[in-house]
Structure 1
Amino acid sequence: MIEEKKSLNFIEQIIEEDLKSTHKKDDLKFRFPPEPNGYLHIGHASSICLNFGLGERYNAPVNLRFDDTNPIKEEQEFVDAIKEDVLWLGFKWAKECYASDYFQQLYDWAVKMIKDGDAYVDSQDSAAIAEQKGTPIKPGVASPYRERSVEENLELFEKMKNGETSEGAHVLRAKIDMASSNMLMRDPIMYRSLHKKHHRTGNNWMIYPMYDWAHGESDFIESISHSFCTLEFLPHRELYNWFVKKVSKEGDFIPKQREFARRNLSHTVVSKRKLLQLVEKGIVSAWDDPRMPTISGLRRRGYTPMSIRKFADTIGIAKRENIIDASLLEFCIREDLNKTAPRVMGVLDPVKLVITNYEEGKEEWLETENNPEDEKAGTRKIPFSKELYIEREDFKEEANRKFFRLSLGKEVRLKSAYIIKGESVVKDENGEITEIHCTYDPKSKSGSGSEESLRKVKGTLHWVSVPHAIEAEIRLYDRLFNVESPDSDKEKDFLEFVNPDSLKVINGFVEPSLEGAGVAEKFQFQRMGYFCVDKESSKGNLVFNRTVALRDSWAKQK
């Protein structure tokens, strides 16, 4: 069978065209450039998969470069988390780089631009600079400091670097064109004064480069062939090229910026600023809260690297922004875990089931399959006894013909065990059922080979033996927001749309094989969904996060 060749996305088409005209295969080099001011989210995962995926496709190096140009918001914690996320997704970078590695070179180039008349120190405040920039239909007005002498500019710029001027007193601006139709070309700021300690360079620098100045020059220094950015950076491309041209000479290898559309995930937000608000206001517990769209949050919830990479591959690369339904991400993790997660039994809302004709004190260890989707998964033994827990919703005293679970006078099979028949119930003073009494057919044991064991009944229930049950804390997670696009209404605070039922904590019971389950181990609780062991779990205190339900319950609500 001939495998169908996958069509190229428009980014790959750009590279292929360049390979035919301007580039050699050995020229190809990519980068992933996160700012270490927060944790990476599912949108970053798509960018990671794009850049490192291109590296794998073309056997080209990919740098991990931290855009650490703002010491106010950046921390080593975020650097470490980003590296962990990239590695967890299964990618390795060729070189670990930082914009701060190039601070001296960037400064030297800025000095040269001042000497060449291409940059000047502006001593206005930010409000005045913004007003003078004009509007898209009204040209800007030149700063009164635009024609400062080279000598004065150099002197002020050095004082800025040494911290001899106050924060906000001066900025360094590129001298381009105050009448340009592209607002970003109207003498953009290259440096601002910040008397803040940097997590890598300490107090060595009192000025820090702006993103537009550091970005293209870092690409140029590293000989990046293709610099892929999200669509909001399209207007920045002209400035990117202008800056690179100022520091390069004829014959130098010039990087190329190209843009792709950001993909937003429904029922959440992916703005780092808004994610930070969720953390700071205590709406979620931390950046890795399993409700967060961060990679660390998805990992803690039980998502796998392959499921996220599959999601990124499925949504692909586009030129237009759109919202991706969270159901697609959930579909990807179901598909992955269905093949790999062991099937176990856990009862989330227990009610006691007593088998009246089962011998008192007797226990059996029954064989059950670990995963029918995996031939190598094998089997395990589970204990069976007179008293079991089943799900409360799996029993009705009276039921119609479409209810295929347990009811009085009807039969069901207990998974990997016997056929039982509902006989009676015991209730408390409030009419709540506390026990269900039933009888079992001793000849109907699963896999016994007897004629009775082959008898068919319509319902099969999961269960846990009461004497052997392990109590566990179960955390049931739902969508973090109860609307598809919580930050689309500019007149409302996105926090108004937080789903109050995004987390429900209950106590349930699981089979004894899970007693020693380790952090991040993943399981399918029969009929209840996929779960993983949370990092707060410990011996004697099992905690499970529900990764995803077995079916998409949200589809019914649309």
Structure 2
Amino acid sequence: MNKNTINKNNFIRKIIKNDLNKKKYSKIKTRFAPEPNGYLHLGHVKSLYINYNIAKDFNGTCNVRFDDSNPSKIKKKYIKSIKKDIKWLGFKINNIYYTSNYFLKIYNYAIELIKKKLAYVDELNSKEIKKYRGTLKTIGKDSPYRNRSINDNLKLFKEMKEGKFKEGQMCLRAKINMLSPIILMRDPILYRIKYKEHIKTANEWCIYPMYDFSHCISDALEKITHSICTLEFIDNKNLYNWILKNITIENRPKQYEFSRLNIEYNIMSKRYINKLIKKKIITKWNDPRILTITGLRKRGYTPDSIIDFCSRIGVTKQNNIIEMSLLENCIRNDLNKNSPRTMAIINPIKIILENIPNKYEEQLIINNHPINKNMGKRKIYFNKEIYIDKYDFKDKNNNKYNHPVVGNKIRLKNAYNIIIKFIIKNKKGEIKKIICTCKHKKNQDYKYIKIIHWVSVLHSIPAKFYLYEKLFNKINPLKKNKLTNNVNKKSLIIKNGFVEESLKTAKIGNKYQFEREGYYCLDKIENKSNNLIFNLITNLNNRYKRI
């Protein structure tokens, strides 16, 4: 785990410290309770980070509990992926539970509520329940089945469990207050019928508890002291407390809410990510343009950079939108220290050095990192023909970016100085190659306009570069317009270029700083062409984009 720990002055920590001082608890217990209906995203990691580090700071424990109460959505592959992500991020979780571990106990608590006249079996369908519940402006009205006898409710609930009714034909509802200003408290559903095989309990059950009913009971059974969640569950706290107050259970955890993570130009909702996949706007859950952990890992983000980001954003009650640059700075800080330097040409144009012999070849030994000498050295080769990036040359003067033009003197990084003589174009007027002359690199009095990167034509490897930009054009993609209307059509651009021959031994997952371009991760190697495929992790600071 990264050495960074959660902000010592956040409001949740103060609450816990006060509880311990008053000896309300002997040991702090928190939990991270993901629903395995999708992959972890950065918002989940914020929650895990808070729960894990608060427990760690106070010598407590943090459980992971998979909320598998809805068999229609959960999948084994999601559980496997979440476990993998948690381990990859460096969180050492000893206790892993499932809501399904408590299905029988939760069922018995439902029976207890029925016996206390605090729950009833309802025959209204979902549309009718919604209509009866009312709105923020109109009060709810009682279901015609609200006042069944205890015996009738017990009998019907047992028959629901035995599979004697169709899905949607019956449900169990809490009997609270249909006049409550909080809609959630207007007789919420506690159990529903679902004929779907469960990944843990198979076909043992055909009725399943709703999240609000199972979650608080699971917290209490695990002796969680502080149930920490995001602000969208603030109204659910009323139901959380009502359930625990009205069942015979020893522990009564308290719920505390913090702001949900929102990052500009991004979404962090499994429902909307699924929509993007179905509409083929993104490929899968590991698409590098979204902020799932699998996507960030594929793009080249490191565990340390993600943990560093979580430590910087802090814990507040105020919803806000975090700038994407904060996340990018975290990965830059990590990769700047830990990634070797190399050169890559993303938009190649050929340079011919007219005063260099055809068979001339010089081997240059250069450092892999400007500071960290432990990264060693590598060999690059200098020949008559080299590639440079076409954006480093303009045949017409452009002072805005200080591009070299014909007659200018430039320096090749780690090599020689050259003078641009003339250009050769094709019939379309496109630059085909540039003719230059070479001057010795040791001439200190030689004045040049710019230092540029390059690779030898003879000693280069073909490569593809996946250049990622923000997925959406709007800071808040979900505001006003439809999500799909805000998609950036240039969020992915693929370029064909070259990298140094030294990368022929590169392994998938290796990360590099391509000098003057940015940080890249080797994603895969094409079977047929043997091309290396690199994903752009992030641009360098103050580097104008050239895609």
TM range (shorter): over 0.9
SS in 2 for 1:23: coil
Report Cα offsets for 1:231-261 as digits up to 9, x if no partner.
1111111211121223345xx3321110011
SS in 2 for 1:457: coil
Report the Cα distance in structure 1 between the residues aligned to 2:206 and 2:404, rounded to whole angstroms.
72
Unaligned runs of 5+ in 2: 1-5
Report the Cα distance in structure 1 between the residues aligned to 2:130 and 2:228, rounded to whole angstroms.
28
SS in 2 for 1:202: coil
Report Cα offsets for 1:178-200 as digits up to 9, x if no partner.
23333222221100001111122
Shift in Å at residue 17 of structure 1?
Answer: 1.3
**TM-score scaled by length of structure 2:** 0.94
Aligned to 1:459: 450
Matches within 5 A, 1:22-171: 22-24=23-25, 26-136=26-136, 138-171=138-171
Out of 484, 497, 507, the position equivalent to 2:486 is 497
Contact 2:409–2:447 under 8 Å retained in 1: no
Does structure 1 residue 545 correspond to structure 2 residue 535? yes
Matches within 5 A, 1:269-348: 269-348=267-346
Contact 1:405–1:460 under 8 Å retained in 2: no
Report the Cα distance in structure 2 between the residues aligned to 1:454 and 1:75, rounded to whole angstroms.
67
SS in 1 for 2:56: helix
Does structure 1 residue 534 correspond to structure 2 residue 527? no
Does structure 1 residue 20 correspond to structure 2 residue 10? no
**One-letter code aligned to 1:464:** V
Contact 1:389–1:465 under 8 Å retained in 2: yes
Does structure 1 residue 507 correspond to structure 2 residue 499? no
Aligned to 1:522: 511
Shift in Å at residue 548 of structure 1?
Answer: 1.0
SS in 2 for 1:224: coil
Sequence identity (%): 45
Does structure 1 residue 210 correspond to structure 2 residue 199? no
Structure 1 pair 47/530, CA: closer, same or farther in 2 (3 Å)? same
Shift in Å at residue 7 of structure 1?
Answer: 4.7
Structure 1 pair 267/155, CA: closer, same or farther in 2 (3 Å)? same
Report Cα offsets for 1:322-355 as digits up to 9, x if no partner.
1112122112212221111111100001011111
Aligned to 1:8: 9
Report the Cα distance in structure 2 between the residues aligned to 1:173 and 1:9, rounded to whole angstroms.
37
Shift in Å at residue 288 of structure 1?
Answer: 0.4
SS in 1 for 2:227: strand
**TM-score scaled by length of structure 1:** 0.92
**One-letter code aligned to 1:263:** L
Matched residues, number: 540
Contact 1:405–1:461 under 8 Å retained in 2: no
Report the Cα distance in structure 2 between the residues aligned to 1:256 and 1:462, rounded to whole angstroms.
58
**One-letter code aligned to 2:540:** L
Report the Cα distance in structure 2 between the residues aligned to 1:260 and 1:403, rounded to whole angstroms.
45
SS in 1 for 2:465: strand
Report the Cα distance in structure 2 between the residues aligned to 1:213 and 1:401, rounded to whole angstroms.
66
Shift in Å at residue 509 of structure 1?
Answer: 0.2
Report Cα offsets for 1:255-307 as digits up to 9, x if no partner.
11100111211112212111101111111111101111211111111111121
**One-letter code aligned to 1:475:** Y
**One-letter code aligned to 2:531:** N
Shift in Å at residue 508 of structure 1?
Answer: 0.6
Matches within 5 A, 1:290-439: 290-399=288-397, 404-439=402-437
Report the Cα distance in structure 1 between the residues aligned to 2:95 and 2:446, rounded to whole angstroms.
63
**One-letter code aligned to 1:43:** G
Matches within 5 A, 1:225-264: 225-249=225-249, 252-264=250-262
Shift in Å at residue 537 of structure 1?
Answer: 5.0
SS in 2 for 1:515: helix
Shift in Å at residue 125 of structure 1?
Answer: 1.2
Out of 466, 469, 474, the position equivalent to 1:478 is 469
Shift in Å at residue 207 of structure 1?
Answer: 0.6
Unaligned runs of 5+ in 1: 446-451
Contact 2:367–2:373 under 8 Å retained in 1: no
**One-letter code aligned to 1:437:** I
**One-letter code aligned to 1:331:** N
Shift in Å at residue 536 of structure 1?
Answer: 5.9
Report the Cα distance in structure 1 between the residues aligned to 2:403 and 2:363, rounded to whole angstroms.
24
Contact 1:405–1:412 under 8 Å retained in 2: no
SS in 1 for 2:535: strand
SS in 2 for 1:396: coil
